[in-house]
Chains A and B, each alone.
Chain A
C-alpha cells in the first residue's frame, strides 16, 4: 500500500511542476507504460492474498484515476498555453480599414413616394399608375377642361404631335379618368408619377412628380377630404399637430375646389412645419366635378367624392430641407449620397416612416 501511495505522492508532486509536452509524456510512460509503475503494480495483484487483493485493487484504481485526471488536465493546460503563445504571434492591427463595402442609395423622390404610399395604405388606398404620354382628352377634356377653357393656359404643355392631340401629361389627374373608366365604384386610389410642364427656373422643373388621390363612394363629403388630408399631412411630417387652412380655389375638375395651406415658421433658418403663423400652399383638392363623373360613366347622383393633387418633390424638399428643385434631377453624386436613403430604410407602417 505504502508503495503505491508513495508513487502517487511523488508523481503528483512532479505533475505540479512546470512541464512541457515531452516531460509530460515521459511521466505518462513512467506510470502507465509497459513497465510503468502503475502497470507493474497491477501485475502484482495476482500474487496478493484474497483478503488484501480487493482493497489493494480498489486503492490502486483510485490512484490510477487520480493520476490520469491530473495528467489530462496538465495536458490541456499545456496545449492551451501553446495555442495562446502561438496566437500571440498572429496578432494583426485591427484598426486597419475593413474590406471595402459599397453602399447604394434610394433617391429622395422614390423614398417620399414610398412614404406616401405607406401612409395611404394605412387608410385603405391602393396605388394606380398611368402613362406619361397622354392624349388631350384624358389630360384635359375628360377632366372638364374643354379646348376653349382658359384654365388650359395654366398648364404649359409639352406636345408630341403638331395637332396637339398627344402630350406629356401635365398632372396625374388623367389616372383618375383611366381608373374610373376601367372599373366600377367605389374608388379609393392614389396615383404617384412623373408630370411635365414646359417651365424651368429655381422653383419649376420641366419634369416633376405629383400624387393624385381619389375617393369616390356613395357618401364621401368634404369632411372626409379634410380628415384624409389632415391625417396625411400629420403622418408625413411626423408631427402630432398640424395647422391647416382650406382656401376656396378653382380647378375645372373639382367643385367645390380648395387649396390647402399648412402653418409653418422659420427656426434657425429652417422651416418647421405645423407651428408658426406663416402659410405655405401645398396642395389642391376638391369634390370631383359631376361633369368628370359623367365623362367616366359614373352616376353623379349616386356617387360622389373627393380628389387631390400634391407635388411630391415639394413635399420632399419641405421634409428633408432640400432647397433647389432642379438638383433632384441633376444626378450630382454628392447630392445623391447626401440626400439619398439607405435601401433598407423601407418606409412602413410598423417600422415608422423614417429613422
Chain B
C-alpha cells in the first residue's frame, strides 16, 4: 500500500515530523517497507525550450534541436516529433534518465550520424497520458519562467510503502491508515468534507440482485451521471495517481481509482449507454463468456457473481469489469457502481479464473459495506466537478443490512493476555478512536465493531487492538520459567542424534538435500515403493518426493567428482517417503563412499573402497549405539541398486523380520546410467525406525560386571569347507558348542587355490577358550578341541585341515 505523506495529511491533522509518523506506523503493526523519494529518479526531467529546430541532414522525419535547459549552453537533441518546433516549451530528459513508461535508461547516442544528448519526451513516455504523437507541449504562461527547473516538482514528496497484513483491509485506504495513527496519538483524524452535491431525479437504469443460492453480492449502490465530458485528469489528480506508481487513464477512471486508494472503496464506472436496459446481479451459468478489461476472454463456471444486463455478462462483480460496457474518453453518460461482495465468493471465483486485480484484492479481504454511499458521493462530486454532468439520486439495492457486530469485552482479559495493565479510560479512548462504539458496564465493555474491521470478531481481537496501539514495548520481559514437563528428547530422537554424530565421526560429511528429487534418478532406487509426484514442482528435475536418500547423494556425488574430488564420503539423515499420506515416511541414514583408502600415502598401500569398509561403518555405528554385535545376523539379500554379490543386510538378531541396515557396493549399472566415474562406490543405509529401543538402561547394564581371571588359551583351526558355507554360520556352529568356554572366535585367513579342491575354501580361525570357574587342564582343552572339530565337521561338512 503506497501513499504520500501529503495525502495522509489530508486525513490526519498532525504536527509530527515524517520520521515520527513512519516509526509510529511500524509500532502499530503497519510495517513500513520503504520510505523514499519517488521522484529521485525524476530529477533529471527538466522544463526546456527549443531554441532552434533544424532538419536532420540524413533523415526527413528527424530534427536537430538546440534546447535551452537553463544552462549557459544549449544542448543538441535529435527529435522525431512533428511538433518539435522553435520556441516550444517541453520536457527534456538528460542522459542517465530513466523513462517512466518503459524504464529505459537514456545515454548519449548517435542518431543517423548526429550525436543526441538526451531526449524530448512525449506525455505517454512520462506516463502523463496516452498521448504519444508528439512531445509534451507546456503552456507558456505557466512554464516560461521555469526553464531548467525540475518538471516533476510536486513529486519530490516522499512515498511510503506499507506491507499491509491480510487482516487489515481498512488500511488499504489512506483514511484507514490515518485513523490508526490518530488512535496512536500522533494526530487527529479529520472529518471527511463532502460538498453538498445536487442530485436530480431517480437513477433510471433498473438494478436488481437475484436471490440465487450463495449470491456473492449483498449491496449494490449506483448513480447515473449524465452529460459528462470525460477528459484527461487535472494535474493534481494525475500527480496523485502517478505518485503511487500508477498510470493516469482518464478523469472518470482516475477518480474511481482515487476514491479506492483514498477510502478503500472500490467503484466501477459503466458507460450507461452500453448497458442493455437493466443491471442484474446474478450467479453465472456454466459456459457463459465475457471479455474483461484485461482484454482476455473468460469462460465462466456455475455460480460466479456477475453483473449482467439483458444481453449478458458485463463483468465479474468486485473482480473485473468487461470491455463491452467500459467507459471511454467520449463516454457521455456514466453509471457508477458502489457495491459489497462477499469475500469468500470473490476468492473462489478469482482462484478458479486465476484473476488478480486491485478490486479483487480488496473485496477478498473485506470492504466496508457501509461505505457504499460515501464512495458514490465522493466520486460523483469529483466527476461533476471535473467532467460536469447531472447526478441522479442514489439507488441502493441490498439483501443484507450489514449492521455493526457487537461483542462484550471483559477488560481483565487484557492483563491476562499481555501481562500489563491499562486503565479503563485509556482502553475506551483507544477503542473509540479506532471507530468502536463503546459503552461501559461494570467490568465489561459493550462494543459495536466498526464495519470496516471484518477481522474483529472476538474479545482476543480487542486485546490485540489495545496492545498494538498502546505499544508492544509496554510488555514486560519476564524471566523464563524452567519447569520441565518431560524429557527433552525421546528415545528415538536420542538415537537419531547419536547415530548422526556416530556416522560423521567415521569420516563422512553430513549433507542436507531436498526431500524432492528427479524422478529419473529416483526410479533407479525406488524398488517397489510408490512414486509420489508433486503436483506443482519447482522444476521438472524436482518432480517427486524421494523414495531413497541415495537419489540425491549420488546426484551430488557426481557434482563433487566433477569438481575434482575423488575420495568422497557423504551421508544424510532424513526422511524418505513411502506413500502420499502424512506419516508414510521413514527416517533413514544414507551414506556413500567413493574412490580409495590411503590414496598417495607414503607408508600405506592404497586400495579401492570395498564392501567391508561400509560393513565396518554400519556395524561399528550400531555397536556404538548400544546394539549387541554377538546377536547381529547378516543376510546376503539387499535392494537391487546394490551389487548383487557384494552387498548384504543386517538384522539385530536372526529372528527379526526387518533388516536395520543395508550395505554394499552400488550396482555398476547405476554408475553407468548416472555417468559416475570413480574407482569404487560403496554405501550403506540404516533404518532408524526399525532400531528398537533398548530394553535395559545403561545404569542396569553397567552394574552387571563379570570377568574371569583364569588362564585363557588360544587354539588355531583351519577347516576346508564348501565355498557356499558362510563364515557367519561357521562361527555360529562353534560358538554354540559351549558358550561358557568359547570366548572369542577370530577368522584370520580365507584361502582358495592350490591344494584346496575347486569348490572348497579354507577358513582359518583362532579360538579363545577360558573358563570363569577354574584354570583349564590340558585334558579339558583337548576335549573341547575335539568337540569343536567334530561338531564343525558334522554340522557343516567341513574337514579339518591337517
Q: Do A and B come from one complex?
A: yes
A211–B256 Cα distance when bound, in Å, is 46
Residue of A nearest to B459 (CB): A290
Q: List chain A residues, Cβ under 8 A from B556.
A: 330-331
B534 CB, nearest partner CB in chain A, Å: 5
- Tell me if B751 is interfacial: C-beta within 8 Å of chain A: no
Q: Which listed segment binds B: A23-31, A70-78, A217-225?
A: A217-225
Contact B535 A150 (CB under 8 A): no
B533 → A minimal CB distance (Å): 8
Contacts of A344 on B, CB cut-off 8 Å?
501, 505
Is A110's CB under 8 angstroms from B473's CB?
no
Inter-subunit contact B536/A256 (CB<8 Å): no
Give which listed residue, B347, B563, B575, contacts A148 with CB less than 8 A: B347
Is B515 on the interface with A (CB-CB < 8 A)? yes
Contact yes or no, B416 A256, CB < 8 A:
no
| Given A99-B604, A223-B419, A304-B417, also A200-B538 (CB < 8 A) | yes
Contact check, B514 vs A127: say whether CB atoms are below 8 A apart. Answer: no
Asked whether, in the complex, the Cβ of A336 is within 8 Å of the Cβ of B505, the reply is: no
Tell me, rounded to whole Å, the shortest Cβ–Cβ distance linking B480 to chain A: 4
Task: Pick the contact of B580: A160, A247, A289 (CB < 8 A).
Answer: A160
Q: Which of B481-509 contact A (CB under 8 A)?
A: 481-490, 493, 497, 500-509
- How many Å lie between the Cα of A223 and that of B415 in the bound state? 10
Interface string of A333-350 (1 = CB under 8 A from B): 110110010011010000
- Verify if B80 is at the interface (C-beta below 8 Å from A): no
Verify B28–A105 contact, CB threshold 8 A: no
Nearest Cβ in chain A — how far from B97, in angstroms? 29
The CA of A103 and the CA of B507, in the complex, are separated in Å by 4
Question: Which residues does chain B contribute within 8 Å of A150, judged by CB atoms?
Answer: 166, 347, 364-365
Tell me, yes or no, whether B560 is within 8 Å of chain A by CB. Answer: yes
Whether the pair B488, A121 counts as a contact (CB closer than 8 A) is yes
Instruction: State the CA gap A117–B489 with chains docked (Å).
Output: 9
Considering only residues 515-556 of chain B, those with a C-beta below 8 Å from chain A are 515-516, 532-538, 542, 545, 552, 556
B569 to A331, Cβ gap below 8 A?
no
Q: Which residues, 367 to 424 on B, are CB-close (under 8 Å) to A?
A: 416-420
CB proximity to A under 8 Å, residues B449-496: 458, 460-461, 463-464, 467-468, 472-473, 475-490, 493
Binds A, one of B197-205, B582-590, B723-731, B789-797: B582-590
User: Closest CB-CB distance, B496 to chain A, in whole Å?
Assistant: 9
Contact check, A126 vs B487: say whether CB atoms are below 8 A apart: yes
Kindly state the separation between the CA atoms of A194 and B577 in the bound complex, as whole angstroms: 14
Contact A333 B482 (CB under 8 A): no
Q: Does B781 contact A (CB under 8 A)?
A: no
Q: Does A123 lie within 8 Å of B417, measured CB to CB?
A: no
In the complex, identify which listed stretch (B266-274, B431-439, B595-603) lies at the interface while the others stay far away: B595-603
Q: Is the CB of B419 within 8 A of A332?
A: no
Residue in B closest to A255 when the chains form the complex, CB atoms = B460
List B residues 334-364 near A (Cβ within 8 Å). Answer: 343-344, 347-348, 364
Determine the distance from Cα of A258 to Cα of B29 in the docked complex, in whole angstroms.
8
Residue of B nearest to A330 (CB): B556
- A131 at interface, CB cutoff 8 A: yes
Query: Are A226 and B476 in contact (CB-based, < 8 A)?
Result: yes
B443 at the interface (CB under 8 A from A): no
Q: Decide if A166 touches B534 in the complex (CB within 8 Å).
A: no
Query: Which residue from chain A places its CB closest to the CB of B467 in the assembled complex?
Result: A256
Interface size on A, residues (CB 8 A): 92
Q: CA of A336 to CA of B563 in the docked complex: distance in angstroms?
A: 14
Contacts of B552 in A (CB 8 A): 331
Query: Are A329 and B536 interface neighbours, CB within 8 A?
Result: no
Stretch at the interface among A1-9, A10-18, A40-48, A132-140: A132-140
Any B CB within 8 A of the CB of A158: yes
* Cα–Cα, bound, A153→B481 (Å): 37
- How many chain B residues sit at the interface, stated as a range, is 35 or more
Task: Tell yes or no: A352 within 8 A of B by CB.
Answer: no
A193 and B489 alpha carbons, distance in the complex (Å): 14
Q: Is the CB of A248 within 8 A of B29?
A: yes
List A contacts of B166 (CB < 8 A). 149-151, 153-154, 250
Which residues in B have their C-beta under 8 angstroms from that of A101? 507
Say whether B475 contacts A223, CB under 8 Å: yes
Q: Is the CB of A107 within 8 A of B575?
A: no
The answer, yes or no, to whether A227 is at the interface (CB within 8 Å) is: yes
CB distance from A140 to the nearest CB of B (A): 13
A227 to chain B, nearest CB (A): 4
Across the interface, name the chain A residue whose C-beta is closest to B420: A223
CA distance A198 to B535 in the complex (A): 11
Contact with B along A103-137 (1 / 0, CB 8 A): 11111011000100100111111110111111100
Q: Does B512 interact with chain A (Cβ within 8 Å)?
A: yes
Report how far A130 CA is from B481 CA in the complex, Å: 26
Q: What residue in chain B is nearest A226 (Cβ atoms)?
A: B477
Give the B-binding residues of A (Cβ under 8 A): 96-97, 99-107, 109-110, 114, 117, 120-127, 129-135, 138, 148-151, 153-154, 158-162, 164, 166, 168, 186-188, 194, 196, 198, 200, 206-207, 219, 221-224, 226-228, 230-231, 245-250, 255-259, 287, 289-290, 304, 328-334, 336-337, 340, 343-344, 346
* 14 residue pairs A–B, Cβ–Cβ below 8 Å: A123-B482, A124-B481, A148-B347, A198-B538, A206-B514, A221-B416, A223-B418, A227-B480, A246-B475, A247-B472, A248-B464, A287-B460, A328-B512, A340-B510
Closest 7 CB pairs of A and B: A102-B507, A248-B29, A223-B419, A250-B165, A331-B556, A248-B468, A104-B504
Given A104-B504, A248-B29, A255-B463: 7 more A-B contacts, CB < 8 Å: A100-B604, A106-B504, A123-B481, A133-B580, A206-B516, A255-B464, A333-B563
Q: B residues near A, CB below 8 A?
A: 26-29, 31, 165-168, 343-344, 347-348, 364-365, 416-420, 458, 460-461, 463-464, 467-468, 472-473, 475-490, 493, 497, 500-516, 532-538, 542, 545, 552, 556, 559-560, 563, 565, 568-570, 573-575, 577, 580-585, 597-598, 601-604
